[in-house]
Structures are given as C-alpha cells and as structure tokens.
Amino acid sequence: MVFMYSKVDLAKYPFTKEAQKYIESLSLDIDDLISTEYSPVLRRGVERIIEALESGYVSYRGNAFVELLSFPIARLFVESLGDEYLRRRYAVAESKRADKLLAKEEDAKLINIVRETFGWDIKKALQRAGGRFYEYKLRVTNYLTFAPYFQDRYWKLVNRVLDEGYVYLRKMDVARLVSEAVKWRLMEKKGKPPDLPPEMKEMVNTIRIKLEDQKIDRGIDEGISEVSRESFPPCISKMLSEILAGRNISHHARFALTSFLINVGLSVDEVIQIFSNVPDFDENLTRYQVEHIAGITGGGTKYTPPACNTLRTYGLCEKNELCESINHPLSYYRNSLRIRQKDE
C-alpha cells in the first residue's frame, strides 16, 4: 500500500526515508540556509541540541517546515562539534521524542515507518496473553536487534509471547524498539562535516559553550570519553558481544569488560544496562560491583582492566594485528581511535 506522508508526519518523524527524500528534493545548500528566510530553521536546530543537553529530550513544535528542516541542521551542528558525549546525548533525546510520538501514532503509519525506514517485518495481529492485548507481531530477528539493549526483564525473549518466528508486541513496545533504532542511527558518525559559514560557526560556538559548561558541571571526564565500539580491542568486543547476546561470561571477563567500559567513558547506568542482558542479572548486585570498579564505592579506587599478559593467562585474549604494538586493552583503544580519526 502506498502511504502518503503529510508535512506534519515528516516533521514528526524526520529520521524516516520519506522525510530524507523530501529534504533532498528541496536541493538546499548551506548558502541558502543562511538567508533570513531560514533563520527560524537554524535557531530551532540550535534549540533542539540545547534541549537535548538541558532536559535530555527534544520537544515537538508546531511549525512543520521548521521542525523538519531543523533536524538535519541539528545533526550538522552535532557533527561539526565532533563530541561523542554530545552525539550520544542528542541521539538519546531525539529517540525519546520519537518514542513519545510513535506511541500515539495510528497503526498504518507506525507499520509503514517500521517497514519502510527500518526494513523490519511487522504485521498487525491481535493476541491476548497473560492479561495483556498485543496488537502487532514483529519478526524475532528484528526484535533481537535492539531489545537486548533494554534493562527490564520485560524485554527478555523468554518473557515474550512468541509464535512461528514472531514476537507479539504492544504499540508502546514497537515505539520503544523503533526509538532505540533511531538512537543508534543518530550515534553513527556521518563523515567529515562541511566547512560552515561564520553565521553557523557562531551558532556552533554557542552550543560548544553550553556543552563545555555541562561537562564541567557533571564532571564528565575528557580523557578517553570518545566511546567508539569499533575501536574496542578484539578481546573486549568478544566479551561485549557475548553479554549482548544474553550469554554469561567468566568473573575475570566481567571485571575486564566493566573496568574497560568505565574507563572509556560509559556511565555506571550504561554499564548496568549492558549487563542486564545476562540470564542471572541482579540489578542491585551489578550496581554494587560496577560502582565499586568505578571507584564510587569501596576505597574510591577506579580500577583499570588487566594488562594483556594477564588476560592471556585467563584465556581471554583474541589478538589481532593491532595488538602487536600494545600491551594493554586501553592502549589498543587509544591507538585504534587515533588511527580512525586520522582516516576520517
């Protein structure tokens, strides 16, 4: 079925393929955007990011054209700053906006967005189980792309209604999964941003000042806060994949993974969320252990992961070429980040 998106739909869901096609059809370049006609769009672009920084949520405003065009502008500004904390915070804030709007969306539109933008196999399906009504069914492989990132037991596959390769979901579940997909898309780096004209540089500078103030206020560590999963050493990547797939890992591996993630800038809550995928997850115990490793409790010592030699004796080493020049997983991460940044 051909589904027609209104301007309001595009403004509400600027991450969709249809919204991107519409924006491309306008053939706007940066010089167009600095004309007074587009001032409200640029201002709203800045505002989206400031909202993300201040409240962790991007609101939905009335003017459809401004709302739609300000989305790529905000992304351009985020990329220009090249700050991983900002990229994550903005991605989370936009995903919350998407979650809220999608949860109230009509069925046909929601299904169309899920199919066309994300390529997921979703169907309308009425099912009653355990006192709940489920309105949709989603192919289990699509479900497992993002559900393992959620901490609540509700999302564990063993707790879901599953039939013939489909997971039954409520509308709010579909909205939550889509919003997670939006978050991960927005966290992807887009390549080198174009040079900005002075008018835009000034706006980016306003955001930079706000960002730096917030980092100071919240004590965000600048050391190696650029969390880039692609730069993780193979040993850590393997441990992380095991956890995300819901498999248990050894005590030594848990310590190495936790201390690594904390040292590359993940928060305690983010690490807990990752560990929530394992079958024996106990939030209180995990929090206690993660906070201890992060130096928040206990003697105040922030632990680092064991050196490569130690990891080798535990049978956790998965050496590759880049490992030849290092003797610690954090050195691998720093070197790999440097190489990637140079390439970009």
298, 292 contact by CB (below 8 A): yes
Residue (167 or 235) nearer to ligand SF4, CB = 235
Minimum Å gap between C-beta 223 and ligand SF4 is 18
Minimum Å gap between C-beta 109 and ligand SF4 is 46
Minimum Å gap between C-beta 303 and ligand SF4 is 16
Minimum Å gap between C-beta 184 and ligand SF4 is 25
Residue (284 or 325) nearer to ligand SF4, CB = 325
Angle at 160 between CA 155 and CA 166, to 5 degrees: 110
What does each C-alpha distance from 284 to 192, 251, 296, 313, 321 come to in angstroms? 42, 17, 15, 30, 39
38, 44 contact by CB (below 8 A): no
Distance of alpha carbon 136 from alpha carbon 176, whole angstroms: 13
Residue (112 or 258) nearer to ligand SF4, CB = 258
Minimum Å gap between C-beta 230 and ligand SF4 is 14
Residue (205 or 309) nearer to ligand SF4, CB = 309
- Determine if residue 272 is left, alpha or beta; phi over 0 gives left, psi from -120 to 50 gives alpha, anything else beta: alpha
Residue (124 or 319) nearer to ligand SF4, CB = 319
State the alpha helices, DSSP H only, in the chain: 7-12, 17-25, 30-33, 39-55, 64-81, 84-102, 107-118, 140-146, 171-187, 198-218, 234-244, 251-263, 268-275, 283-293, 308-313, 329-343
Minimum Å gap between C-beta 324 and ligand SF4 is 8
Minimum Å gap between C-beta 274 and ligand SF4 is 18
Residues that bind ligand SF4 (CB under 6 A): 233-235, 308, 311, 317-319, 323, 329, 332
Residue (92 or 235) nearer to ligand SF4, CB = 235
73, 45 contact by CB (below 8 A): yes
What does each C-alpha distance from 104 to 70, 152, 170, 173, 251 come to in angstroms? 22, 22, 12, 12, 43
Residue (234 or 246) nearer to ligand SF4, CB = 234
Q: Which two tokens stand for residue 340?
A: 């990637």
